[in-house]
Amino acid sequence: SGESGAGKTESTKFLLQHIMNLCKGNSQLEQRILQVNPLLEAFGNAQTVMNDNSSRFGKYIQLRFQNNTVRGAKLSEYLLEKSRVVQQDAGERNFHIFYYMFAGLSSEQKEIYGLLDPSLYRYINGEFGTKEVAEHWMHKYQEVCNALDMVGFQEQEQVDMQAILAGVLSLGNVTFEAQESYGPVKLSAASRGWLKAAAVTLVFCPCSPVSPSVSCCCSLCADARDSIAKVAYGRVFGWIVCKINELLAENVDPGVELREIGILDIFGFENFAVNRFEQLCINLANEQLQHFFNHHIFQLEQAAYKEEGLPWETVTFNNNESVLNLLLAKPFGVLSLLDEQSAFPQATDKTFVDKLNSTFKGNSHFHPPRSCLLDFTIVHYAGKVQYTASGFLEKNRDTLPANVRGLFISSVTPLLIPLHIHHEPRPTLARVKCEHEAPILHIWQCFGLMDCWSSSCQHSLTVLMERMYSANPHFVRCIKPNSQKEPGVLDSQVVLQQLRYNGLLETIRIRRDGFSWRPSFEEFAER
C-alpha cells in the first residue's frame, strides 16, 4: 500500500519474481505468471498527474503451492475505472492500450479496424505523443501481442478485441443535436461516418437500421453513448482476466490441500486538483486497508501483551474508524445517501451535497463547501481531500439503457454477448419503498435496470477485506520520495508526511518496544 506513484505495482512485480526464484521456478506455469503483467498494465493502467503508469484497478494475486512448488494462480480484479474510457482530466491519458494500438498497428491493420489519425478521437483528447514516446509505445504493443499469444488468445479473439477497442474510439466521436427546442434529437451530420465505423467494428445489429431521430435530450443520448463505451471496455478487461485464470488454474487432484500466498496490489490514495467520484471510491479502499493495518499492528498486538500480563505502556495511534463510519454507515453514511439520491429521478448533484451538509453538520471529518460550489471535503487518514460532486449521481447510477442491453445481446461478437449477465439489478434498490415509487419504476423502464456503482464498490471491498482478515498478513509500505515523479530525489517533508499518516512512526515504536520473536513453548524448550 501507499500513495499513487509510490511504487506498489513495481514492488509487486519484484515480489513475484523473488517468490518464483525461491521456488527455483523455471516451469512454463511460473514464467506465465510473470508474463501476464504487460497485459494487465496495458489494459488497466494509465497516465495520471501523479503517476505515468498508474493502476486504475485493484488486483489480488493468489499463488497456490504444493511442496514449495507453484501449482496454480488466480487473479481477482477490483473496481476498474471505466469512466476513464470516456473522460480524462488535463495532464492525464486514457488506458495505455489505445495509444499502443495507434503506435503498433500497421497502416493496413488500421484500415481494417477503421482507425484514422489519433488527433481526431475525442476519447483520447486528440492527443498522441512525441516520436520517442511513439517508439516506446510500439515496443509495448509488441509486448502485449506476445502476452496475448502466451495467455492463449486465438487469432480471431485478438482481432475481435482490437475491433471493439477501435469501435469504442469511433463511438466517442458520435454527437447529437436537437432539431428544435424540446423536440426530438437527431444524429449530427458529421457523426454518421463515425456511427457506421462503430457499428461495424462493434458488430451491433447489422440488420437493424439506425433511427434518424429519437425523442430524447442530447445529454441522455450522450450518456447512452458513453455507457456503451464503458461497458464494452469493461467486458474486454474482464475477458482478459478470465482467460488468464483459465491459463494459470492449478491442475491437481481436488482432494490435495494447497497452501497459498496472496498479493494485493491496489490503487493508491489520491488527492488531485480535481477529485471526482472515482477518487472517493479509491480513497475509501485505502481507508479500509489503513484500518486493517491498524487492527493488526496496534489493536491485536497490544491486546496480546495485555492478555499475557506483560508490563506495557499503551501506544496510541490515529484510528480512522470514524472516517469509515462517515463513509459507510447505514442509513446515513455518504455512500448510503448517494444511493438514496440516485434512486430519485428528481435528485441532482446539488440535492446530494445539500443532504450531506445537513446530515454531517458539525462532523469533524466533513467540511461543507465555503461557497455555493458543488463540492465537499472529507478529512481522510492521509489528509483533507476536496471532492467535486458534479457527476456523482450519474456515475453512481451506472445505468445501461434497456435498448442498449439488447444491442449487446444481439451482437455477433461472442465477447460482447455475455454483457447483460453482469448488469442484473441489485436487490437493495428493488426494496426502495416510498411515495416516489412510480417515477422510479418509470425511470427503470425507460433507461434499463439501475446498478449503483457505490453498492458494487462496497460489495467488492467487503469480499476483499474478508479475504484479508482470514489471512496472516505481511505489510509492504511503499513510500513516495517526491511529488515531481523525479528519480534520485528524496523530499524529506513528503516522506515524513507519509510516515506520519501511515502510522509508521508508531509502528516503529511498537516494534522497538514490543516482542518481535515469538517462539512456541515447544521451540523454546527444545532450544
> What is the spatial distance between Cα 227 and Cα 54, in angstroms, rounded to a whole number?
23
The question of whether 54 is a catalytic residue gets the answer yes
Pick the catalytic residue from 54, 83, 275, 388. 54
Q: Is 391 annotated as a binding residue?
A: no
Nearest to 453 by CA among 270, 287, 329, 281: 281
- 5 is an active site residue: yes
Sign, CA torsion 150/8/456/343: negative
- 270 has catalytic annotation: yes
* Among 167, 268, 333, 448, the one annotated catalytic: 268
For 322, 335, 353, 366, 386, the CA distances from 361, given in Å and listed in that order, are 15, 16, 12, 8, 16
Number of C-alpha atoms within 13 angstroms, CB side, residue 177? Answer: 7
> For the packed helices 218-248 and 37-44, what is the interaxial angle rounded to 10 degrees?
170
Q: Which residue of the set 41, 81, 270, 506 is catalytic?
A: 270
d(CA 74, CA 262): 9
Annotation-wise, does 8 bind a ligand?
yes
388 annotated active-site:
no
Under 8 Å CB-to-CB from 237, ≥6 apart: which residues? 43, 44, 57, 77, 80
Residue given cell 478485441 in the structure block: 161
152 is in an annotated binding site: no
How far apart CA 379 and CA 365 sit, in angstroms, is 5
Residue holding cell 445505468? 399
6 assigned ligand-binding residue: yes
Q: How far, in whole angstroms, is CA 15 from its chain's centroid?
A: 22
Chain mean position to CA 430:
26
Out of 1, 5, 455, 502, pick the active-site residue. 5
The active-site residue, picked from 9, 48, 275, 336, is 9
Find out whether 309 is annotated in a ligand binding site: no
Catalytic residue among 4, 45, 275, 342: 4
Q: How far apart are CA 85 and CA 93, in angstroms?
A: 9
Is residue 108 among the annotated active site residues? no
- What is the end-to-end Cα distance of the chain in Å, rounded? 37
The Cα 101–Cα 165 span in angstroms is: 9
Q: Of 12, 48, 55, 336, which residue is the catalytic one?
A: 55
Q: Per the annotation, does 351 bind a ligand?
A: no
Q: Which of 1, 48, 51, 286 is catalytic?
A: 51
104 is an active site residue? no
- Between the alpha carbon of residue 519 and those of residues 306, 472, 523, the distances in Å are 18, 16, 6
Can you say which residues are annotated as belonging to the binding site for ATP? Answer: 2-9
Can you say which residues are annotated as belonging to the binding site? Answer: 2-9
Residues marked as catalytic: 4-5, 9, 51, 54-55, 268, 270
